[in-house]
Amino acid sequence: MTITSDLTFARMADELAYRFEATFSRDEVVAIIERVRADLEPTSRHPEFLPVLVERAARDLLTSQARMRGAPAGAMPEILFVCEHNEGRSQMAAALAEHLSEGQVHVRSAGATPTGLLNPAVVAVLAERGIELTHVYPAPIREDTLRAADVVVTMGPDLPLIPGRRQVSWDIEDPHHRSVDDVRAIREDIEQRVIELLSELGVSVSPDAVRASHTQAPRPAQHHGLLERLHLPRRVSHA
């Protein structure tokens, strides 16, 4: 059976190709996964554990080969931000992390019970920072997404311990039914925590990004146009 005909291994290929995109093409990642699978599958007594074993071995092999190519020992750090509905806090944290790191980390966000909506007040206060949530979609928590993350930051829901992953819990105010001024304060709280996390991961924070963030004045008159482009309801929904 090939990678393309097996959904579990296809997702694995997507995840590893995403993590190692600076060093390997997707075809190279697929070839390594198929090689590892061919080595492990004939002797596997518990087929249900095979994907985990293949993923771990393929990741180690990719890391080793990346070193041989002169790439950094580790791929880009992967941070997963999780809140209850993936409408507000986690979306804001992911957007700020990507903006402040200038692409030096891979970021994702997810919700325990996503509703498919974005909090319009969050969209508005991020627009004030020059960050537009135009290509994001609320997503559920998936096992492969959890497994791919180096750091999992939760803001609300409790998650089971994930072996080999760092888990951080942030006590962040919920922007549900909050005014735009209140959501700005929540944004500031999240931004400081993101800066500290990036520093702990050894990721340099762009002074220009921070400076640009704090020199832009609120632009409430522009928010409605942004919400219309996103086709979002004008209500503050639960984060």
pLDDT tens per residue, range 30-79: 999 999 999 888 877 788 888 888 988 888 788 768 767 776 655 678 89
Q: How many helices (H) and strands (E) does the chain have?
A: 9, 4
Task: Name the class of domain 3-68.
Answer: mainly alpha
Question: What's the pLDDT at 67?
Answer: 65
The pLDDT value recorded for residue 170 is 95
**Which carries the bigger pLDDT value, residue 13 or residue 75?**
13
Ordered by start, the domain boundaries in the chain are: 3-68, 78-230
**List of residues 6+ apart from 206 with CB closer than 8 A:** 100, 101, 102
CATH topology identical between 3-68 and 78-230: no
The reported pTM is 0.65
86 Ramachandran zone, left/alpha/beta (phi>0; psi -120 to 50): left
Q: What CATH number does the domain located at 78-230 have? A: 3.40.50.2300
Return the exposure string of 156-173: e unless at least 16 CB atoms fall within 10 Å of the residue's CB, then b.
bbeeeeeeebebeebebb
Question: How distant, in Å, are the alpha carbons of 32, 43, 44, 98, 211 from that of 95?
Answer: 32, 44, 41, 5, 16
